Chain A
Amino acid sequence: MAQELFVSKTSELADGDRKIVPNGNYEIGVYRVNGELFAYQNVCPHQGGPACEGLLMAKVEEVIAEDKTYQGMTFNHDEMHIVCPWHGWEFDLATGDMVADRKFRLKKYDVVEKEDSIYVTV
């Protein structure tokens, strides 16, 4: 049966912040980025690393000109990636999909914000 797990007061999770909360034998990483909340189990589907304890980084993209020539690389802040600190597997913050191989994904949780608190549905 679904339960609501208290994460923090709304004021304690500013934009760009992350909080990791215990949930049974594992943890859940809760993010607020560009005003949106996201929550994932802190277990990488690769070898089990604590994915949510890694860096949160913008997607890296190549700049290719119309004539197909390479013009360098850039960050795309519209797609943020959770980077597992064990091996560097990267996951789309919005979906939890592993960006290099979408057969893998982080376990996603619903996040709700009510009154002045944030909860994850577990």
Chain B
Amino acid sequence: MEIPTDHLNKMSIEEFDTSKLLINAARQRDQRKLQDELIIDVDCHHYENESMSEIVEFIEDPVLRRTAQVYSGAGTGANNPFMIGSPGSQDVAGRITRYPLRKMDPTPEDGRHRDIHLSLKWMNALGVDYAMLFPGPMLLLGLHPVPEYEVAMSRAYNRWLTECVLAEEPRLKTMLYLPFNDPEAAYKTVQDFGDATGVAGFMIVSTRYKPVYDNEYMKTYSLIEEMGKPLSFHASFSWNDRLLGNTNRFLVTHALGFTIYNAVHLCNWIINGLPERFPKLNVMWIESGLAWIPWLMQRLDNDYRMRSSEAPLLKRLPSEYMSEMFFSSQPMEMPHDLDVLEMTFKMINAETQLCWSSDYPHWDMDLPSVIWDLPFLNDQQRRNILGENARRLFNLDVSDRFPNHPSTA
């Protein structure tokens, strides 16, 4: 494959293999003996769009299924009515070469889905034992103007994912996509898939315009709380957003987009007293990094002290509720002054609340070493963040990988 390196020249690349790309990651794994540690990745991705012709067969509405078949097959040259795109260049305009080269990555033809093989390649290189798998382009589906489309596509994806991928590979799990723009469909998704293989929790893509405090969602939160599974909010971006549309470089669209939607939902979640209404519901915030959390903790506490009449359900400071939430680590900001990061860890109770994530194969992925090598963590703290916090959160059975783990006794 040839990748343009400027307006005149191209670089020719003959082969691509994730295992070779990640040789240095495997070396890190071996140097740190990470294969002996329980490592759970709470956020990684696959490209479900590459399996779209399989997924659309699970669409239940015959008319919508037929429409999706047309667009996932040969196509018509027009836009796909199911997918909401956004301008952007996550791969830094081709500089992150695993994006354009991914299709060249060889996988065995043994009947197991290609996404399983691709996932296990990078998981093995990084030393990851279990991973929460999320979609890619579908993370923008919450922006679809018609809820019916989000419901149909997400239900088909959820069936395909649980039946064709998760049921075939016990190291892959998910927090299942909820079609949040249709509250009844979100509730039904929890009902129908709560016990499906590999469903460790539920996920709301935060890039959407539906407020989490709406009464229509309360029965869904109740049901998830009753099941004892976590609810997560996965960040994304949209350059079509009116506010983010004021940015002209994707760097800013990404830096703000991946935090601002989660920030809005988190504020609504706390100020409307949802932690008081659902005290046993564990909530996780995914892929916003960590630096935004101290900002919101201080900002919300300051305003709450002056305007507590607007948040009468709260019995404590907003930051105290936040310190009981769960956060995924990636993309973890790495300041030159590590005191800044250490203070952030302290503020969010990282020892029990932070869960490492890779976000692989995305462009700003993190390796386990970003946690393992932090000088201010002791061994137990780094083990908690890399695996134990997630194992406890998901009540994950790790006996197949760690038969002697204390939780299996």
Q: Interface size on B (CB < 8 Å)?
A: 25
B303 interface residue, CB < 8 Å from A? no
A85 touches B5 (CB 8 A): no
Interface-forming stretch among B160-168, B309-317, B366-374?
Answer: B366-374
Point out the residue from B28, B97, B366 that lies within 8 Å of A85, measured CB to CB: B97
* Distance between A104 CB and nearest chain B CB, rounded to angstroms: 10
Once the chains are docked, how many angstroms separate the CA of A88 from the CA of B98? 11
* Distance between B96 CB and nearest chain A CB, rounded to angstroms: 6
- Cβ-closest chain B residue relative to A57: B5
* Distance between B74 CB and nearest chain A CB, rounded to angstroms: 33
B307 interface residue, CB < 8 Å from A? no
Point out the residue from B6, B11, B94, B363 that lies within 8 Å of A58, measured CB to CB: B6
Once the chains are docked, how many angstroms separate the CA of A53 from the CA of B98? 11
Once the chains are docked, how many angstroms separate the CA of A25 from the CA of B364? 25
- Cβ-closest chain A residue relative to B98: A85
Q: Which residues of B contact A55 (CB under 8 A)?
A: 3, 5, 11, 94-95, 97
* Distance between A87 CB and nearest chain B CB, rounded to angstroms: 6
Q: Which residues of B contact A85 (CB under 8 A)?
A: 21, 95-98
Q: Which residues of A contact B5 (CB under 8 A)?
A: 55-58
Q: Interface size on A (CB < 8 Å)?
A: 22
Instruction: Mark contacts of B4-17 with chain A using CB atoms, 8 A cut-off: 1 yes-contact digit, 0 otherwise.
Output: 01110001000000
From 65 to 105 in chain A, residues with beta carbon under 8 angstroms from any chain B beta carbon are 75, 77, 83, 85-88, 103
Point out the residue from A43, A47, A58, A83 that lies within 8 Å of B369, measured CB to CB: A47
Once the chains are docked, how many angstroms separate the CA of A55 from the CA of B98? 12
A48 touches B25 (CB 8 A): yes
- Cβ-closest chain B residue relative to A90: B95
Once the chains are docked, how many angstroms separate the CA of A53 from the CA of B95? 11
- Cβ-closest chain A residue relative to B248: A70
A54 touches B95 (CB 8 A): yes
Once the chains are docked, how many angstroms separate the CA of A49 from the CA of B363? 12
B363 touches A88 (CB 8 A): yes
Q: Which residues of A contact B363 (CB under 8 A)?
A: 87-88
Instruction: Mark contacts of B21-65 with chain A using CB atoms, 8 A cut-off: 1 yes-contact digit, 0 otherwise.
Output: 101110110000000000000000000000000000000000000
Once the chains are docked, how many angstroms separate the CA of A98 from the CA of B27? 23
* Distance between B19 CB and nearest chain A CB, rounded to angstroms: 12
B27 touches A25 (CB 8 A): yes
A29 interface residue, CB < 8 Å from B? no
Once the chains are docked, how many angstroms separate the CA of A85 from the CA of B369? 18
B103 interface residue, CB < 8 Å from A? no
* Distance between A113 CB and nearest chain B CB, rounded to angstroms: 24
B23 touches A50 (CB 8 A): yes
Q: Which residues of A contact B336 (CB under 8 A)?
A: 103
Q: Which residues of A contact B94 (CB under 8 A)?
A: 55
A50 touches B24 (CB 8 A): yes
Q: Which residues of A contact B7 (CB under 8 A)?
A: 75
A88 touches B24 (CB 8 A): no
From 81 to 111 in chain B, residues with beta carbon under 8 angstroms from any chain A beta carbon are 92, 94-98
B28 touches A83 (CB 8 A): no
B347 interface residue, CB < 8 Å from A? no
B24 touches A48 (CB 8 A): yes
A56-B11, A57-B6, A86-B365 known; A49 vs B98 contact (CB < 8 Å) = no
* Distance between A47 CB and nearest chain B CB, rounded to angstroms: 5
From 319 to 355 in chain B, residues with beta carbon under 8 angstroms from any chain A beta carbon are 336
A50 touches B6 (CB 8 A): no
A48 touches B21 (CB 8 A): no
Instruction: Select the residue from A50, A75, A86 with max chain B CB neighbours within 10 A.
Output: A86
Q: Which residues of A contact B92 (CB under 8 A)?
A: 88
A48-B24, A55-B11, A88-B363 known; A75 vs B96 contact (CB < 8 Å) = no
From 10 to 69 in chain A, residues with beta carbon under 8 angstroms from any chain B beta carbon are 25-26, 42-43, 47-50, 53-58
A25-B27, A75-B7, A87-B364 known; A50 vs B97 contact (CB < 8 Å) = no
B369 touches A88 (CB 8 A): no
A88 touches B95 (CB 8 A): yes
A55-B3, A55-B95 known; A48 vs B11 contact (CB < 8 Å) = no
* Distance between A38 CB and nearest chain B CB, rounded to angstroms: 17
* Distance between A93 CB and nearest chain B CB, rounded to angstroms: 12
A→B interface (CB under 8 Å)? 25-26, 42-43, 47-50, 53-58, 75, 77, 83, 85-88, 103
Known: A25-B27, A56-B5, A75-B6. 10 other contacts (CB 8 A): A26-B24, A47-B367, A48-B24, A49-B24, A55-B94, A55-B97, A57-B95, A86-B96, A87-B365, A88-B92
Can you list 16 contacts pairing A with B, beta carbon distance less than 8 Å? Answer: A43-B24, A48-B24, A48-B25, A48-B369, A49-B24, A50-B23, A50-B24, A53-B21, A55-B3, A55-B11, A55-B94, A56-B5, A75-B7, A85-B21, A85-B98, A88-B363
